[in-house]
Amino acid sequence: MRNKGQITVPSEVRTALGAEEGDDLLFYTDEQGRIIISRSLLIPPEQAWFWSERWQNLERKTQADIDAGRVKSFDTLTNALDYLATVKGSDAKD
């Protein structure tokens, strides 16, 4: 340990954590006195909703639909609204 309490984290630990230069790391102890190290992922409060489990599940489902070609595109808002009017209440999933 250096005089200001700095330590060198071994490369295999940095790799396991996915940590890079400049990342913040959290150090804490568990009930057995073991030291636990984890990356500190700072998410601005106004963006926390995006990283919620629910939203990430929706993102994955949406990406799966895009990857499978289950999307439509429209040249105008009117065309999009007309399409929505035709499928309203139907079970159409194309």
Task: For 27-89, give the DSSP string.
Answer: EEE-TTS-EEEEE-----GGGGGGGSHHHHHHHHHHHHHHHTT-----SSHHHHHHHHHHHTT
Distance in angstroms (rounded) separating the CA atoms of residues 7 and 15: 16
pLDDT in tens, the chain (94 residues): 899 999 999 999 999 998 988 888 999 999 999 999 998 878 887 898 998 999 999 999 999 999 999 999 999 999 999 999 998 776 655 5
Query: For residue 66, what are the domain limits?
Result: 45-87
In a shared domain, residues 32 and 49:
no
The whole-number pLDDT of residue 93 equals: 58
Alpha carbon distances (Å) from 51 to 12, 47, 60, 81, 83: 27, 7, 12, 30, 32
The whole-number pLDDT of residue 45 equals: 78
pTM for the full model?
A: 0.46
Number of domains in the chain: 2
> Is 92 a domain residue?
no
The whole-number pLDDT of residue 64 equals: 98
The whole-number pLDDT of residue 41 equals: 78
